[in-house]
Each structure stands twice: as C-alpha cells, then as structure tokens.
C-alpha cells in the first residue's frame, strides 16, 4: 500500500544551526520502517507499507527484490524491543511507534545490495504520534534505544543480539570545521553523517557526505552522480 513519505528527506548542511547536536553515522542502505501498535503490525519502505504477516511479507518481497532478508533479520533482533517497556513509553493508548532502520551489507552501495553479502539492520530513528512528538529527539533516542545495542562496551548490559544503534560520531556544537572533517574522512565513515538537534521545539536533521563517497558516485554514475548526492 502506498503511503505518504514516512521518513523525511534530510537536507544538506548548508543551513545547519551552530547549535548543540549529536552526529550519527549515515549508512548507505535502504530505509525501512517498522510499526508498533500494541505489537508489531506493519512495515515497509519510505513510501509503502505492508502488514507484518505472511501475506504482507510475500507482497513486500515481490515488490522489493533484494530486500527479502530484511524481515528475518528484524524477527531475530528488533522484534525483541516489544518485550521491553521502551516502545510502550512512547505509545499513546491507540498510537503508533515507528522505528526506522537502514538495511545494508558491506557491499551495499547507493541503495543496491549484493545477494550473497551478509546484511544487517541499523536503528537510525524512532517516531511516535504520542503528544505530537514525531521523531524522537536525538538525546532521548541515544539513551532509550542505545541501551540495547549489541556492543560489549555497552554499560547497561541489556543487549539484543545483532541489534545496532547508529554509531555516534560526535556530540557537541556544530561548526564548519566539523563539516570539513567529515568530508575529508577524519571520522572513518563510508557515506557520511547526519547531524541532529533541536532549535526551539523543532527537530532538524542535516547530512554531510564524504569526498571519497562523492568520487565513487562520479565513477559509478558518471553524469548522473548528482541523483545520489546531497
């Protein structure tokens, strides 16, 4: 089923506020969303949604060749969130909580995936219609959903196998120097980063991609590289 754009288009960093922010790694994969409403009910891409049952999964796989591994990975990992109180914290009585993940493998590039390349899902954002919050602010997101990250350095100790929160690259005040450092490869990210913060009561998200990623786009897509840039 076609739906309005579920996850917003992220702007480039031209007008990024010089304010406090958290910078997360940006992953070169396919954005998928998963809906919680007293249980996991639906899923899909940024522009469509299917019931999370046998029929809906079959329809999704037929509509999106190359993404067939996504649901089995979700079932092993993020489905476990339903056993914890965190999703319930953000749910109104009859409201939705949506988690957004990036589906990718080591060889994924510009939204395409290799068949025999092992895939994973990385949690990049969470949204709720509770009290009109929308996408959860990055600080709450990092604390509430970071505690389940399958990382031996996680101090909370409450881990879900193969669950991965987007890597935090930097926390502090945004500056032009930060942007240049990202572009020049200081932070060792593949595609780039997303800066997230709050101005007033509004969430902003800005993306910065690396120069190395730009050169790869130009090599792979020639004159059409701009379709995949910022």
- The CATH number of residue 33's host domain is 3.30.470
Beta bridge partners of 179: none
Q: Give the separation between CA 199 and CA 187, rounded to whole angstroms.
A: 25
228 in a structural domain: yes
Of 19-23, 81-85, 95-99, 141-145, least confident by mean pLDDT is 81-85
Domain that holds residue 192: 10-27+168-230
Domain boundary among 130, 146, 165: 165
| Domain identity same for 114 and 208 | no
Q: Say what the pLDDT of residue 88 is.
A: 66
In this prediction the pTM is 0.93
Sign of the CA dihedral with 77 first, then 120, 125, and 8 last: negative
Domain boundary among 114, 149, 165: 165
| Domain identity same for 105 and 202 | no
What is the b/e burial string over 196-223, where b = at least 16 CB atoms within 10 angstroms of the residue's CB?
Answer: bbeeeeebbbbbbbbeebbebbeeeeee
4 in a structural domain: no
Domain boundary among 135, 165, 195: 165
| Domain identity same for 136 and 174 | no
42 in a structural domain: yes
- Name every residue whose Cβ is closer than 8 Å to that of residue 81 and which is 6 or more positions away in sequence: 36, 87, 99, 148, 160
| Domain identity same for 96 and 184 | no
3 in a structural domain: no
User: If you average pLDDT over every residue of the chain, what do you get?
Assistant: 91
Whose tokens are 């739906």? That residue is 3
Give the number of other Cβ atoms within 10 Å of residue 11's Cβ. Answer: 13
Average pLDDT over residues 25-38: 95
Q: Give the separation between CA 163 and CA 174, rounded to whole angstroms.
A: 28
58 in a structural domain: yes
1 in a structural domain: no
Closest CA to 97 of 105, 88, 106: 88
Q: Say what the pLDDT of residue 67 is.
A: 97
Q: Give the separation between CA 64 and CA 56, rounded to whole angstroms.
A: 12
The token pair at 142 is: 């990092």
188 in a structural domain: yes
| Domain identity same for 131 and 172 | no
What is the tens place of the pLDDT at every residue in 145-201?
988 888 766 665 568 889 999 999 999 999 999 999 999 999 999 999 999 999 988
How many structural domains are present in the chain? 2
| Domain identity same for 150 and 60 | yes
List the helix and strand counts (H, then E) for the chain. 6, 12
| Domain identity same for 92 and 173 | no
| Domain identity same for 34 and 130 | yes
Backbone dihedral angles phi then psi of residue 15, each to the nearest 5 degrees = -110, 30
Backbone dihedral angles phi then psi of residue 44, each to the nearest 5 degrees = 165, -170
What is the tens place of the pLDDT at every residue in 130-155?
767 799 999 999 988 988 888 766 66
| Domain identity same for 82 and 134 | yes
| Domain identity same for 151 and 118 | yes
The token pair at 193 is: 């980063």
| Domain identity same for 84 and 157 | yes
| Domain identity same for 21 and 116 | no
What is the b/e burial string over 62-96, where b = at least 16 CB atoms within 10 angstroms of the residue's CB?
Answer: eebebbebbbebbeebbbbbeeeebbeebbeeeeb
* Displacement of CA 194 from its chain's centroid (Å): 10
């Amino acid at each position: 089923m076609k739906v309005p754009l579920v996850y917003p288009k992220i702007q480039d960093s031209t007008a990024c506020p010089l304010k406090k922010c958290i910078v997360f790694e940006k992953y070169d994969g396919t954005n998928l969303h998963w809906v919680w409403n007293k249980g996991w009910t639906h899923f899909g891409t940024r522009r469509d949604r299917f019931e999370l049952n046998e029929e809906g999964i079959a329809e999704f796989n037929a509509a999106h060749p190359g993404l067939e591994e996504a649901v089995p990975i979700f079932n092993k990992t993020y489905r476990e969130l339903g056993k914890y109180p965190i999703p319930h914290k953000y749910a109104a009585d009859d409201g939705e909580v949506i988690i957004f993940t990036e589906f990718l493998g080591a060889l994924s590039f510009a939204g395409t995936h290799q068949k025999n390349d092992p895939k994973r899902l990385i949690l990049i954002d969470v949204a709720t219609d509770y009290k009109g919050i929308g996408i959860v602010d990055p600080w709450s997101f990092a604390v509430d959903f970071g505690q389940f990250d399958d990382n031996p350095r996680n101090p909370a100790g409450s881990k879900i196998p193969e669950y991965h929160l987007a890597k935090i690259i930097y926390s502090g005040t945004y500056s032009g120097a930060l942007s240049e450092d990202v572009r020049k490869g200081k932070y060792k990210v593949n595609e780039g980063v997303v800066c997230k913060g709050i101005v007033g009561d509004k969430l902003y998200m800005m993306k910065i991609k690396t120069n190395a990623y730009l050169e790869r786009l130009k090599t792979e897509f020639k004159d059409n590289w701009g379709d995949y840039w910022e």
